[in-house]
């Protein structure tokens, strides 16, 4: 089975869901623009954190002890 991610207007969402189900497909996730932007922001923050970890591992950034942060 193939997964497709599409952006549709709010008023079309329910009609499209019915068509997909009639064709034997399924709806896995429905995100509003607000939810999608929160998700994108969170993923960006995670990416930035992982880049920081990589820099510390490569010796390009200084690591800190937990006691130093508190």
Q: Hey, where are the domains in the chain?
A: 31-59
pTM: 0.52
Confidence (pLDDT) at 53: 93
Confidence (pLDDT) at 67: 87
> Quick one: which of 29, 51, 25, 54 has its CA closest to 39?
29
Q: Give tens-digit pLDDT for 41-57.
A: 899 999 999 999 999 99
SS3 8: coil
Q: Which helix (H) or strand (E) holds 34?
A: helix 33-57
Confidence (pLDDT) at 54: 95
**DSSP 8-class letter at 63:** -
Give pLDDT < 70 ranges for the chain: none
């Amino acid at each position: 089975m193939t997964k497709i991610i599409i952006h549709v207007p709010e008023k079309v969402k329910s009609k499209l869901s019915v068509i997909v189900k009639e064709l034997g497909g399924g709806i896995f996730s429905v995100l509003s623009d607000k939810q999608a932007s929160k998700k994108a922001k969170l993923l960006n923050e995670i990416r930035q954190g992982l880049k920081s970890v990589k820099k510390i591992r490569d010796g390009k950034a200084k690591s800190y002890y937990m006691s130093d942060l508190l």
